Amino acid sequence: MSKGEVKEVDVSETNDHVLLNIVQEEDLVQSIREKMENTSSFHRINRVPDEPKEGSEDSYSPKLVSIGPLHHGVDNLKDAEEHKWCYLNTLVSRKPINTETILENCVQTLRSLEDKARKCYGENTNEHIGSNEFVQMMLLDSGFLIELFIKFAIKGFRRRDDMFFSDSEMFFRLRCDLILMENQIPFFVLHQVFHLVPIPKECSTYSLIQLALLFFRKLIPGEGVVTTERYSPDIHHLLDLIHHFYLPTSLQIHSNGTQKHMHNVLHLHDVIGIKFKKAISESVMNIRLTKNKVLEIPTLKLHRYSEVLFKNMLAMEQCGGKKHVASYVYLMKSLVKSAEDASYLTEREILDSSLYNDKEIYELIKELHVKFDVKDFYYSGLCEKANGYKKKNKWKEWRQKISSVYKKTVKGISC
């Protein structure tokens, strides 16, 4: 090409190239986004495996209210559906705002979240629940839960004939149903609906998390006000929210990851010489063994919800994630091998229950099903440390005691 000539450029070819790059980038972004969503929410709500469920179906299946698709439409739960609709109606109609507009916004938002929400379940919900029914179910269940939390927080919003609040046994069954692993909806669904419906001014200072924690306060370990600092922003569902408050906050003791054995309480005390002391800690799972051979364990309060709650937290961990609760339960099962072990810990306020006697506490702990690999045992280092102590030399102890008594006697005589 001679000097001064201008090279012709095929504009259409250039535009096609740019368009191709844009399409490829959009496809890549879409692919990355889908992978992130699948990883973060994939199969977070599952059916309980057959092994722990065998013989204990009542601890895993709702008796009063269905939440989510896994028990949706079950005959013995249909009676509560009408009450759920009443709760939703009260929620969206409380303020003088166009109810239809609120419902349209909720449906539109939930429709956009439908695919993501379905992926949270460990089975194909498309097989038995169509799109409209699924979106309606998510709105109904979310609205019911939000209004339930509001009524619990503010007594003035409750009707005297409310079936859930007028009967203590009914309320107990309801709260049990809401902590079942199979009876959950994704928390992001609940969160979205919470910000679309009119919340009464009496609850305007509460977040959804705070309302939920207020409702489940009795199930959360520790005394006083529950702070929201303990929970992760990545909450999967209500059971997962409660589960966060059972996680350890202290550093894990280093171990080689091969130790699961721990002697029972009386053996550790009588044979090894380990003492037990109630610990004051922000987590019930912050257990430590001091240099003075004192096993410090925070108080575990056992109540009517304990069995159902622990069984469902264990089932949740069995389906994936770290085995913190499973490790804690396994350790307690190792320590409490009899009613006498339970009695020893009760006397030291490590176990606390006004509902169960020592034998019943032992039976409750014994019934909890635990299954995990030794490498996932959180207290492996603690067990190694405890098992590293030698047995007490009883003859040496007796000599020391006799010597001490003799010295005191001689001193008394000389006086």
* Average confidence (pLDDT) per 10 residues, the chain, 415 residues: 54 66 70 62 79 86 96 92 96 86 96 95 86 97 98 93 93 97 96 95 92 95 67 83 92 74 93 94 92 94 96 93 94 96 96 94 94 89 86 52 52 51
Dist CA 361 CA 341 (whole Å): 10
What confidence score (pLDDT) does residue 37 get? 58
What confidence score (pLDDT) does residue 2 get? 54
- DSSP strand pairing (294-298 vs 288-289): antiparallel
Tell me the three state secondary structure of residue 144: helix
326, two tokens: 């499973």
266, two tokens: 């009386």
State the greatest distance between any 2 C-alpha atoms of the chain, in Å, as a whole number.
127
**8 Å CB contact between 148 and 196:** no
**8 Å CB contact between 151 and 165:** yes
399, two tokens: 């000599």
**8 Å CB contact between 345 and 335:** yes
Q: How far is CA 192 from the centre of its chain?
A: 21
What confidence score (pLDDT) does residue 33 get? 66
- Alpha carbon dihedral 368, 373, 375, 378, in 10-degree steps, equals -10
What confidence score (pLDDT) does residue 256 get? 73
What confidence score (pLDDT) does residue 396 get? 46
Q: Which amino acid is at 385?
A: K
Please name which of 326, 345, 204, 185 lies closest in space to residue 265, comparing C-alpha atoms: 345
Please name which of 129, 151, 131, 237 lies closest in space to residue 189, comparing C-alpha atoms: 237
Q: From start to end of 245-370, where are the E strands?
A: 275-279, 288-289, 294-298, 300-301, 351-352
Dist CA 304 CA 364 (whole Å): 11
Please name which of 210, 219, 284, 215 lies closest in space to residue 247, comparing C-alpha atoms: 284
What confidence score (pLDDT) does residue 109 get? 97
Number of C-alpha atoms within 13 angstroms, CB side, residue 264?
A: 13
